[in-house]
Chains A and B, each alone.
Chain A
Amino acid sequence: MKRILIVGGGIGGTILANNLARRLNHELHSGDVGITLLSASDRHMYQPGLLYVAFGRMTPDEIYRDQASLLEPDIAFHVDPVEEFRFEANAVRTASGKSFEYDYLAIATGSRPVAESIPGLAEHAHHVYTEAAALKTFQALRDFQGGKIVVAAAVPHKCPMVPLEITFLLHDYFQDRGLLDKVKIHYTYPINRVHSLENVAKWAAPEFDRLGISYETLFNVKEVDGAKRQVLSEEGSSVDYDLLIAIPPHKGMEVIEKNNLGKGGWIPTDRNSLRMENRDNVFVLGDTTNIATSKAGSTAHYEAEVLGENLAALVKLGSEVKTYEGKVFCFIEAGKDRATYASFDYNHPPQPQPPTQAVHWFKMAYNRLYWNSVRGLL
């Protein structure tokens, strides 16, 4: 029997498991293949929903489903997080003390915000990267009666669209509450334009001008001085705030660092084969790779589809059939019920179009369709 072990039941691991279960349906039933998924939680969170939770547009219960309900029935699923990777033995050891052996391993453990890695950030800034933080942000926005809101993005962070989206949503939120004349929004960004994608930056900057949102580029958060309500940058500048909304820096999961799989929790991964460096039968997908691309659900999704096809081909044909070409597709909420999107790969930079209402409603529909997407039905 060929044993395929998937570690991580987020978007990447779930799509991969379901994709494989369909491709290897016959082999699963004949007992020639076994697919096991290990995760740290019995629930699956639709993470982009956290942004809407912070603005009172979604409630937390709407962004969770039972993980088991999303999986094809032939997948063996255990809530038993991996603690040790034993590559030489082709096995992992889990929190419960069990050992799971494999012929092929796929790692998709995701990433986590580490606000605490910047002095003062965890104590004084709000963010939307965990359920608790999103709820706290929701309350802080409800309570805010006026003053200067600073949006500060630290790197690396997952979903490169969040800094812009949160800024446009802040503008709408206070406009809808009739408080806009008392609120000043100031946006900061690490590189020398307002977004990493040049064409997105080209429409976002004039849009900020039009909405009265000020901005400052080449601003990398170094420290937050809570007593002075001031953010200091690596570049030597500073900005005062009344309310600080941060995009916290991220790392991969601790288990990756502890096992020396990669600095910062990012696993060295071949950007085309998705194979872990120096490991023949270990593959990596989603946020935890060190590939220089967006840490986004859509990246994990496209990588899972390539890996699904390749692992099934390895079982059936003995070799891989596909390469990952860097495909990513991201929606960008542009405020006032308009949105656009960026679609790109290693060889084709994105050409985003001006935002429209149609794309916004498509994104709203995707918030619901997500559950079909992870089941592999879209």
Chain B
Amino acid sequence: MQDPQILDARGATCPGPLMELIAHIKLMDVGEEVEVLTTDRGSATDIPIWLRKVGHECINMREDAGVYHIRVRKTK
């Protein structure tokens, strides 16, 4: 399996992790994966909500020393 792309949004406040992800997903091919890194607790809830709403997949999420790693697959 291919390593996912990394979207390093640690410390990013504007436009912030979710908007960075929305922009990034546009450039991905269907089936590709990206791992978002964020230090923002709010994004750890907001990102899965948005993914559910538009139908992309949140594969998993883990926290490691204050950094959330959110792995996402583009499904359409």
Interface residues of A (CB under 8 A from B): 155-156, 160, 190-192, 196-198, 218, 220, 234-236, 249, 263-264, 271, 292-294, 326, 328, 330, 342, 344-347, 349-350
In the bound assembly, the distance between CA atoms of A156 and B15 in angstroms comes to: 9
Residues of chain A with a CB closer than 8 A to B11's CB: 326, 345-347
Residues of chain B with a CB closer than 8 A to A330's CB: 14
A328 touches B14 (CB 8 A): yes
Q: A264-B26, A292-B8 are in contact. List 14 more A-B contacts (CB 8 A).
A: A156-B15, A190-B19, A191-B18, A191-B46, A196-B13, A196-B14, A196-B16, A220-B22, A220-B54, A235-B53, A235-B54, A292-B9, A292-B12, A326-B11
Residues of chain A with a CB closer than 8 A to B20's CB: 156, 292
Residues of chain A with a CB closer than 8 A to B50's CB: 191-192, 218
B15 touches A350 (CB 8 A): no
B46 touches A196 (CB 8 A): no
Q: Please give me the 5 A-B residue pairs with the lowest Cβ-Cβ distance, nearest first.
A: A346-B11, A156-B23, A292-B12, A292-B9, A196-B15
Count: A-B pairs, CB below 8 Å: 71
In the bound assembly, the distance between CA atoms of A308 and B43 in angstroms comes to: 34
A196 touches B19 (CB 8 A): yes
Q: Say whether chain B's binding surface is mostly helix, strand, loop, or mixed.
A: helix
In the bound assembly, the distance between CA atoms of A326 and B17 in angstroms comes to: 15
Residues of chain B with a CB closer than 8 A to A249's CB: 23, 26
In the bound assembly, the distance between CA atoms of A345 and B18 in angstroms comes to: 18
- For this complex, 29 residue pairs linking A to B, each with C-beta atoms less than 8 Å apart, are A156-B19, A156-B20, A156-B23, A190-B18, A190-B22, A191-B19, A191-B22, A191-B46, A192-B18, A192-B46, A192-B49, A196-B13, A196-B15, A196-B19, A197-B13, A197-B14, A197-B16, A218-B53, A234-B54, A235-B54, A249-B23, A264-B26, A292-B7, A292-B9, A292-B17, A328-B14, A344-B13, A344-B14, A350-B14
